[in-house]
Amino acid sequence: MKPEIIFFIKINVAIAALYLFYKVFLAKDTFWKSHRLYLLLSIAVAFAYPALDLTGWLQQQTPVQHIISNYLTLPEVVITPEEKKIDLLPLLFGAYGLVSIALISKIVLQFFSIMKVRISGSRQWVNGIRVIAVNRDITPFSFFGNIYINPASHTEKELEQILAHEMTHVHQIHSLDVIVSEIACSLCWINPFVWLLKNEIRQNLEFLADHQVIKSGFDSRMYQYHLLQLSYQTPDIKLGNKFNVSPLKKRIMMMNQKKSGKPSVAKYLLAAPLVLSLVLMSNAEVLASTAKQMMQQQDQLTTQKTAAVQQDNKEKNVEVVVANTKENGAKFTATVVYDKNESTDDPLFTVVENMPIFPGGDKALIKFLSDNVKYPAQSVKDNVQGRVILQFIVNADGKISDVTVVRGVDPLLDAEAIRVVNAMPAWTPGTQRGKAVRVKYTLPINFRLQGDDKKTEGVISINTPDGKQPLFIVDGKEINHEEMLQIKPADIQSIDVLKDASATAIYGEKGKNGVVKITLKEKKAQ
């Protein structure tokens, strides 16, 4: 999934979570100023937290790593054949963007409508307050520093109430809340919770203004009656703060509601764990990567005995060639060059204080493998799939060497996995006691097909650079080259190659040209 989509999903999840928290815990109390701060911060947090990177901090938290190792696993890289599909994402993004542009254009048009009203009106002083007087029927409203009203449509007492209400909007810059909520709706219009959040922001601004009117000494019943008189009017400019904004019933209920006690303020502290959870979930890739490293360490310890011979003996220039019997000349070749290093001053570690890191981290490693591993066409045709487990050494300079197959599936798939690992850029090397060291690393790559294809036959042949035939050992039994050609690639579990002293030390003179040890898959009982 593209990072932009993940970023967008995180924003909308946060908006939904923070809105639901507000409705469940905060909406019924009378802390209007705290409501305003929470609602504005909800939008700010939702858009900001996905960009918050806690990678460095999380990697230093041992307790967090233990928790993640128990509850999270990072999926192995899964390679599937490339299929030609129509990419609808650009079309969907385009359609979504057009709706967002239309909604933002609507905000701009509302702004120009207010400017038009301002130009057509005249500046007057009403009850000591500067307003924009409009000579037509208009619902009283304010926008930033101006109040828009038709003084002739209201009695002197009503004007006092309206101006006291609207001056609260002006002094506390409530228009900023309105603009922020409208922009949030334009960008996340597909999310119903962002519209609900906007309504809560609008209502809370009216609660603040109503509260200020009553606090100023106006009679609450007369003020409520005045609101009911204006309730039939439909606001024509939606961007401003309206005197008679709906729902009136809830506004009147809130004016008559008993003031919440101070202990209720403690509920706002519960939002901190919610925000922290969102931030940690946003950094889930980092946590999962930590879990993956710990799992790899366990795998390395498990396979250490199996790969003992491979650790002690470094083969050089081994070429693996897979040929298809039905299509002569179709070959897939991967050459692995190993660097010999037998010095005891340069030990090989399995687990170190700081494990090697692919440039950009595990997320970048997965992307590199996904972009570069290609499913061999013949393997697709033969319906061959499975997980290839590789081991390799990340040297002190970060370069990759000694790539071996711990558990193979098919020579084509094994060779493709080896090829890509050898093509990796230099890693950040592992360190032990502050010194860069060689570290053995385990990497699973899963080749998976979708659907059932017809299986075809294939053979495998392994040659050394000088063209001489090596000794073939299949499941511990020596066979000749002709018998070797009868083995189907799909039946092979793994291939190990021994050369030079490591081969002759075990097999004597027979192993002078190298030894190819093949382990076949166990056949299920019929």
Q: Is the pTM of this model over 0.85?
A: no
Upper half-sphere CA count for residue 169 (Cβ side, 13 Å): 32
Cα–Cα distance, 1 to 444 (Å, whole number): 21
Cα–Cα distance, 330 to 412 (Å, whole number): 12
Residue 461 to residues 61, 124, 232, 404, 491, Cα–Cα distance (Å): 50, 96, 88, 18, 14
Determine the average pLDDT of the residues in 235-262.
67
Give burial (CB, 10 Å; 0-12/13-18/19+) of 311.
Answer: middle
Which pLDDT value is given to residue 294?
52
Cα–Cα distance, 45 to 261 (Å, whole number): 27
User: Tens of pLDDT along 85-134?
Assistant: 667 888 888 999 999 999 999 999 999 999 999 999 999 887 777 899 99
* Mean pLDDT, the chain, integer: 77
Cβ-based neighbours of 207, under 8 Å, separated by 6 or more: 32, 35, 251, 254
In 108-252, the DSSP E strands lie at 122-126, 129-133, 141-143, 146-149, 241-242
Range with the largest mean pLDDT of 106-110, 284-288, 379-383? 106-110
Q: Which residue has the higher pLDDT, 229 or 222?
A: 222
**pLDDT tier at 284, thresholds 50, 70, 90:** low
Determine the average pLDDT of the residues in 238-251.
60
**pLDDT tier at 245, thresholds 50, 70, 90:** very low
Determine the average pLDDT of the residues in 129-148.
89
User: Tens of pLDDT along 32-87?
Assistant: 899 999 999 999 999 999 888 776 666 566 665 555 544 444 445 556 666 666 67
Which pLDDT value is given to residue 461?
45
Check pLDDT > 80 for residue 162. Answer: yes
3-class secondary-structure state, position 218:
coil
User: Tens of pLDDT along 472-512?
Assistant: 888 888 988 667 767 776 677 777 777 777 778 888 888 88
Which pLDDT value is given to residue 6?
87
C-alpha gyration radius of the chain: 35
User: Tens of pLDDT along 302-350?
Assistant: 445 444 434 444 343 333 333 333 333 333 333 333 333 434 467 888 8
User: Where is average pLDDT lowest: 162-171, 330-339, 372-381?
Assistant: 330-339
Segment (H or E) for 438: strand 435-447
